[in-house]
C-alpha cells in the first residue's frame, strides 16, 4: 500500500525534515506515527497526500509512483485516500449530510449512490439523527465523527489521520478510536499521527517513531515511548 525507500526531504531553508526514511505499510495495517513536535511527522503525512514531494528517494502509494506521476493523476491518487485533521475542516454553511456528500460530489458520484453511501457512513459514526445539523450545532466529538464519515464515504483504501483526537476529551477520544478500529477491521489501512500516549499504549498497534527526521523505532505492537 505504502512504500518508501531512502526518502529525504530538505526544505529551501536547509531544514532536513526526513532523512533516508524507508518503510513499508501493508494493506489493512493500523499504524501510529509518533514523535516529538518537529520530528518530521507532518512532512511524512504531507508526502502521503502529495502536498510535499521528496527531495530524493522512492515513494509509492496504492501502486502510484508519487514522485514522478503527472499532475493530472494526482486526483486519482487522492481518491484512494481519506484524510482527517485535528481541526475537522467542515464547511460551516453546509449540514452534516451536505458536508459528507460534498466528498462524493467532487468525484461526480451518481445521486442514488451518494444518498445510500452518506446514510451508510452516518450509521457507522452514529450520527444518522444529526444529518440536518450544521457544524456549529455539534460538539467537537460529533464534528470529528462527521469528518471521519466524510473521509470514508468514498471507500478509500487508506485513511490518514493527523492528530484526530487532539482537541477532544479522553472519553470522546475513545469513542473516535472505536470508529477507527471498526474501519480498520473492515480492511481499511490507517496511518495516524498522534501525541496521545494513552491511546497508543492501550491499543498496541504498530508504532513508527520518528526523531530528527529518522525512523528510530518500528514495532509491531508498540508503545508511545515519548514524554508529552
pLDDT digits (tens, 9 = 90+) for 15-39: 999 999 999 999 999 999 999 988 9
Task: Give the number of residues written for the chain.
Answer: 228
- List the chain residues with pLDDT less than 70: 226-228
pLDDT at 214: 95
| Residue 164 and residue 71 share a domain | yes
pLDDT tens readout for residues 142-158 = 999 999 999 999 999 99
Of 128, 131, 179, 178, whose CA–CA distance to 151 is shortest?
Answer: 179
Q: Domain containing 216: what range?
A: 1-80+156-228
Distance CA 49, CA 74 (A): 9
| Residue 215 and residue 162 share a domain | yes
pLDDT at 210: 96
For residue 65, how many C-alpha atoms fall within 13 Å in the half-sphere facing its CB? 6
In a domain, 85, yes or no: no
Contact call for residues 30 and 177 (beta carbons, < 8 A): no
List own/partner pairs for 137-142 with CB under 8 A and 24 or more apart: 138/96, 139/172, 140/88, 140/167, 140/168, 140/172, 141/168, 141/169, 141/172, 141/175, 141/176
Handedness of CA 168, 169, 175, 181 (dihedral sign): positive
Return the CA Rg of the chain: 17
Task: Say whether 65 sits in a helix, a strand or coil.
Answer: strand
Q: Identify the bridge partners of residue 25 per DSSP, sorted by sequence position.
A: 2
> How many independent structural domains does the chain possess?
2
| Residue 114 and residue 160 share a domain | no
| Residue 103 and residue 74 share a domain | no
| Residue 161 and residue 67 share a domain | yes
| Boundary (domain end) residue, out of 154, 173, 193 | 154
| Residue 227 and residue 169 share a domain | yes
What's this model's pTM, rounded to 2 decimal places? Answer: 0.92
Amino acid at each position: 500500500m505504502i512504500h518508501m525507500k531512502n526518502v529525504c526531504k530538505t526544505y529551501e531553508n536547509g531544514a532536513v525534515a526526513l532523512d533516508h526514511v524507508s518503510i513499508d505499510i501493508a494493506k489493512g495495517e493500523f499504524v501510529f506515527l509518533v514523535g516529538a513536535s518537529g520530528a518530521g511527522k507532518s512532512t511524512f503525512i504531507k508526502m502521503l497526500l502529495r502536498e510535499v514531494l521528496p527531495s530524493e528517494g522512492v515513494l509509492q502509494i496504492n501502486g502510484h509512483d508519487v514522485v514522478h506521476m503527472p499532475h493530472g493523476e494526482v486526483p486519482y491518487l487522492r481518491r484512494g485516500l481519506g484524510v482527517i485533521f485535528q481541526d475537522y475542516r467542515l464547511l460551516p454553511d453546509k449540514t452534516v449530510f451536505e458536508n459528507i456528500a460534498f466528498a462524493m460530489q467532487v468525484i461526480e458520484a451518481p445521486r442514488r449512490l451518494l444518498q445510500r453511501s452518506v446514510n451508510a457512513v452516518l450509521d457507522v459514526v452514529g450520527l444518522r439523527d444529526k444529518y440536518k445539523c450544521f457544524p456549529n450545532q455539534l460538539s467537537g466529538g460529533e464534528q470529528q465523527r462527521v469528518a471521519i464519515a466524510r473521509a470514508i464515504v468514498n471507500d478509500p483504501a487508506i485513511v490518514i489521520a493527523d492528530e484526530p483526537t487532539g482537541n477532544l476529551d479522553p472519553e470522546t477520544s475513545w469513542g473516535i478510536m472505536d470508529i477507527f478500529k471498526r474501519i480498520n477491521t473492515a480492511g481499511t489501512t490507517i496511518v495516524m499521527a498522534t501525541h496521545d500516549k494513552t491511546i497508543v499504549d492501550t491499543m498496541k498497534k504498530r508504532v513508527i517513531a520518528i526523531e530528527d527526521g529518522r525512523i528510530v523505532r518500528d514495532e509491531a505492537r508498540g508503545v508511545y515511548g515519548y514524554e508529552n
